[in-house]
Structure 1
């Protein structure tokens, strides 16, 4: 809003949006539960009715699950996929007809460092972000000929409420055999809460810069911790691929 843009601010509670951002002709608060496809379509229709177009979509809704894979309950896993993956798809499908008609637009899908590299204690959460990465890569290829950009944003640990109970489920079942792996992560997460290295204000400014870019990237890593994780995984994959290259190649038909 300060940058002179019109903003559609979507959330479950419209009153909290108005309380936070005030009243402005350039602000449209809309009620939205991303798991409700009808609400997604209604929000898009309201945005187009008020502003005439939609230039940028930020798919930011999501929450985490802290548990070993075996400790992750079916109900928690399904609830998380409903929001982090199927909710993102609901919003994207509802909005894409507008951007295709415009032959312009930019979709920003919020992934995570965990969308590039999974880790003990966050395996199922990371799997939702791996899905977001795959969806965005395909969108990038499908939409580029139509003049529409797609970027997957990979933040590291930022000093937000993500590690609070409001955004992070902690598995109720605790299996002692995982104490040295996911158990350690549980304890570390509690210590890290509100002490993360990333500055959320700087992240917000980075997203505005991304929105203004004429040639945005497919992936945007945010935070030095994400950069380090990407470099370490790339080196690991390269070394492992080389070590197993002969067996990998041996499965082709003989020429």
Structure 2
């Protein structure tokens, strides 16, 4: 039996993963900005607490400490919570961009810092971060959100090395398009008054969202099953090291394969120029 701490449990991967963990008999601390949104998890035995990743770090860490107290340890942390915003770099205000990073990046850091001491003391633990296939590429007018996912991927690659000697495993889960509420969120995704210069690009994204939403091929329940197996080291992951970057969805696999091929071709094309900047070795 594992003890989980999962952020962002009101919908999507957080909710489905909490359900999957509870179904296997694990203990789950399920967080949401509004605990009323996860009453069904409480009914199934989860400890539900209020947690908003936009809170100051001290408040986040105090909430985590209080939640963990009854268990005295945490085996698995799933940093799942996140928010989205669409708009060109010029359209998204600095205030909006900082608010996005506060949740998608700094909030995860605050929770992780609060839980790492428990994992170090017990000499084991697994930390999963919610990333995106956009952490491998770029898309017009989603620059701020995409930047948070690249930042998380970079954080994971470093943190993985920092804590491996303590028996702690770290991975970032990078899904493609799944049938969650991310594209139909209560908060508006698009700027109320966009710039005319970016209207064509934004209209294309509006069309994409309206076309894709509700028809995504990714199944959140199947994804949750894989996430639970990956973070518990069971099923397909038994006896194997969890990958640093776990891509989910056939669309994400195709995108990453294409990006790796493109990067390899680009590196090969410019290799001689790149290498020409070294000091000349004296003969």
Which TM bucket (shorter chain)? Answer: over 0.9
1:107 is paired with a residue of what secondary structure? strand
Q: Do structure 1's residue 207 and structure 2's residue 233 form an aligned pair? A: no
CA distance in 2, matches of 1:247, 1:204: 45
Q: Do structure 1's residue 8 and structure 2's residue 29 form an aligned pair? A: yes
Cα shift readout 1:128-152 (whole Å, capped 9, x = no counterpart): 0000001111110101111000000
1:87 match? 107
- Indicate how the Cα distance of structure 1 residues 165 and 15 shifts in structure 2: closer, same or farther if over 3 A, else same: closer
- One of 219, 222, 230 as aligned partner of 2:245: 219
CA distance in 1, matches of 2:218, 2:41: 23
CA distance in 1, matches of 2:185, 2:47: 28
CA distance in 2, matches of 1:167, 1:235: 37
CA distance in 2, matches of 1:242, 1:124: 30
Cα shift readout 1:20-67 (whole Å, capped 9, x = no counterpart): 22435x421111112222332233323332122100111111111111
Matches within 5 A, 1:28-47: 28-36=47-55, 37-47=57-67
2:10 match? none
Q: Give the alignment's Cα RMSD to 1 decimal.
A: 1.6
2:69 is paired with a residue of what secondary structure? helix
CA distance in 2, matches of 1:241, 1:5: 46
2:189 is paired with a residue of what secondary structure? strand
CA distance in 1, matches of 2:209, 2:158: 33
CA distance in 2, matches of 1:52, 1:90: 19
C-alpha contact (below 8 Å) 1:35/1:90 kept by paired residues: no
Q: CA deviation at 1:174?
A: 2.4
2:215 match? 195
C-alpha contact (below 8 Å) 2:54/2:99 kept by paired residues: no
Structure 1 unmatched ranges of 5 or more? none
CA distance in 2, matches of 1:233, 1:5: 37
CA distance in 2, matches of 1:138, 1:212: 21
1:51 is paired with a residue of what secondary structure? coil
Shifted more, 204-213 versus 33-42: the winner is 33-42
Q: Do structure 1's residue 56 and structure 2's residue 76 form an aligned pair? A: yes
Q: CA deviation at 1:183?
A: 3.1
Matches within 5 A, 1:6-155: 6-17=27-38, 19-23=39-43, 26-36=45-55, 37-155=57-175
Q: CA deviation at 1:180?
A: 4.2
Q: CA deviation at 1:69?
A: 2.0
2:176 match? 156
CA distance in 2, matches of 1:243, 1:194: 41
Corresponding residue pairs, total: 253
1:237 match? 263
Structure 2 unmatched ranges of 5 or more? 1-21, 234-238
